[in-house]
């Protein structure tokens, strides 16, 4: 039985940022949207708000149970970027810097460091624990109106939301989707624009591809792969 294939076109309505790479105080976004990010944004998997660790191993197996796969999204238009500087420096009466984190106090207090904590110098009461969060830097974001495309393969019929939220700042994006007819499976070599190599069948052979080293898993761009493929009406994998 042939699965359902949906083609999704994502149009950014707000500047969108993913922490793809960090170079000193420069944080920039790769020109793509990972398939894990798309699965969460589309509401196909859920993550509890009170969890403070990466829970991909806990959340994503539900996609396998439902027979759903989401591909990474690649740019469909000429990309435009926007560069912004951010500054989270304190404006309090006095502050201290530790491990790239600011600890603030007010009035006539003074701080005393105790391990990874800061304490009130008079009372000894712990005030804050140092956290490794950037206070200043430069962001390279994807501009609004950039367009991306991905595919969703599913055993069941799906209805996609019209709008989703993407990236660190939960930026708004518009979704246009349509169902595409599948042809029969084919064996041989095929080139795919962007793919997650961890999701390939063990019998597939990766012949070539540009590795994009991002978290949580690297992706392959312009990947030439030998294996068995579903193709659309245009013969594209």
Model confidence, pTM: 0.81
Q: Are 17 and 167 in contact (CB under 8 A)?
A: yes
pLDDT computed for residue 15 by the predictor: 97
pLDDT-based confidence at residue 129 (cuts at 50, 70, 90) = low
Task: State how far the Cα of 69 lies from the Cα of 177, in Å rounded to an integer.
Answer: 15
pLDDT-based confidence at residue 110 (cuts at 50, 70, 90) = low
Which of 46-50, 56-60, 127-131, 170-174 shows the lowest mean pLDDT across its residues? 127-131
Q: Are 174 and 10 in contact (CB under 8 A)?
A: yes
CB atoms within 10 A of CB 183: 14
Q: Are 136 and 87 in contact (CB under 8 A)?
A: yes
Q: What is the pLDDT of residues 27-43, one digit of tens each?
A: 999 999 999 999 999 99
All domains of the chain in start order, with CATH: 4-85+138-229 (3.30.70), 89-133 (no CATH)
Reduced to 3 states (helix: H, G, I; strand: E, B; else coil), residue 21 is strand
Q: What is the pLDDT of residues 75-99, one digit of tens each?
A: 998 899 999 998 776 665 556 655 5
pLDDT computed for residue 106 by the predictor: 58
pLDDT-based confidence at residue 229 (cuts at 50, 70, 90) = confident
pLDDT computed for residue 27 by the predictor: 92
The mean per-residue pLDDT over the stretch 207-236 comes to: 88
């Amino acid at each position: 039985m042939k699965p359902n294939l949906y083609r999704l076109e994502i149009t950014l309505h707000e500047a969108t940022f993913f922490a793809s790479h960090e170079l000193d105080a420069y944080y920039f976004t790769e020109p793509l949207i990972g398939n894990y990010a798309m699965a969460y944004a589309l509401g196909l998997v859920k993550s509890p708000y009170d969890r403070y660790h990466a829970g991909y191993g806990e959340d994503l197996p539900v996609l396998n149970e439902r027979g759903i796969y989401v591909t990474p999204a690649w740019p469909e238009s000429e990309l435009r970027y926007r560069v912004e500087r951010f500054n989270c420096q304190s404006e309090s009466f006095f502050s201290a810097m530790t491990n790239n984190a600011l600890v603030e106090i007010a009035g006539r207090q003074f701080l005393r460091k105790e391990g990874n904590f800061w304490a009130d110098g008079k009372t000894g009461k712990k005030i804050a624990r140092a956290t490794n969060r950037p206070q200043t830097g430069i962001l390279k974001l994807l501009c609004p109106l950039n367009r991306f495309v991905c595919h969703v393969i599913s055993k069941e019929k799906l209805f996609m939301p019209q709008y989703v939220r993407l990236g660190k700042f939960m930026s708004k994006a518009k979704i246009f989707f349509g169902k595409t007819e599948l042809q029969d499976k084919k064996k041989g070599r095929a080139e795919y624009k962007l793919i997650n190599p961890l999701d390939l069948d063990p019998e597939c052979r990766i012949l070539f591809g540009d590795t994009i080293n991002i978290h949580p898993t690297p992706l392959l761009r312009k990947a030439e792969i030998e294996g068995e493929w579903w193709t659309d009406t245009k013969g594209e994998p």
